[in-house]
Amino acid sequence: MEAPSGGEEARRPTSRSTFPRNATVTVAVASVVLTLGTTLRGIRADAHAYLGSTAAERDHTLTDALGFSSEGWDFIHDHVKRGDRYVLIVLRDLRGTPGAHDMSSYAGYRLMPAIAAREPAKANVGVYVGAPAPPAARCVDRTMTACVLRRRS
């Protein structure tokens, strides 16, 4: 390797100012801190509202959001118990309410730990929502049709 001769000097890269890089990092960190702070405040507010409510209030929030009758589902929930095998009887064409699939999904959540029967013949409880129920069924209000019919074993 030859040493630089005469007027040639080994060139070193000149140091660039670090201001733009430091400013970018500072802005990014500040943005993350502000976003995190806002997010944590939102989570705390939601947690306080949620944890401060009763189980019934939480269920009603979901029921109302889905457009179902809280009164009707409270009645059904009170009459379908652990160990019951239920069949959901719903008219498919219900105006202003979710379809039969949505109703079935909600029933699976709300009626836990009861079990939805795959075959109606194996159910010991019939749950009527928006569908005409037999006269022997217990109903919250026959005009809105939230009824439960317990079959004898």
Instruction: Report yes or no on 9 lying in a domain.
Output: no
The answer to whether the predicted template modeling score (pTM) of the entire model surpasses 0.85 is no
Phi then psi dihedrals of residue 48, to 5 deg: -65, -45
Q: Would you state the pLDDT for residue 81?
A: 93
- Give the range of the structural domain holding residue 75, as residue numbers without chain letter: 68-150
CB-facing half-sphere around the CA of 29: CA atoms within 13 A: 6
Instruction: Report yes or no on 17 lying in a domain.
Output: no
What total number of domains does the chain contain? 1
Instruction: Quote the Cα angle for 133-100-132, to 5°.
Output: 15
Distance from C-alpha of 141 to C-alpha of 31, rounded to nearest angstrom: 55
Is the pLDDT at 84 greater than 70, yes or no?
Answer: yes
Is the pLDDT at 98 greater than 70, yes or no?
Answer: no
Instruction: Report yes or no on 37 lying in a domain.
Output: no
Residue 95: pLDDT band with limits 50, 70, 90: very low
Instruction: Report yes or no on 28 lying in a domain.
Output: no
Instruction: Report yes or no on 6 lying in a domain.
Output: no
Instruction: Report yes or no on 2 lying in a domain.
Output: no
Instruction: Report yes or no on 31 lying in a domain.
Output: no
13-17, 39-43, 87-91: segment of lowest average pLDDT: 13-17
Instruction: Report yes or no on 53 lying in a domain.
Output: no
Question: Please, are residues 104 and 110 in contact by the beta-carbon 8 Å criterion?
Answer: no
Question: Please, are residues 144 and 72 in contact by the beta-carbon 8 Å criterion?
Answer: yes
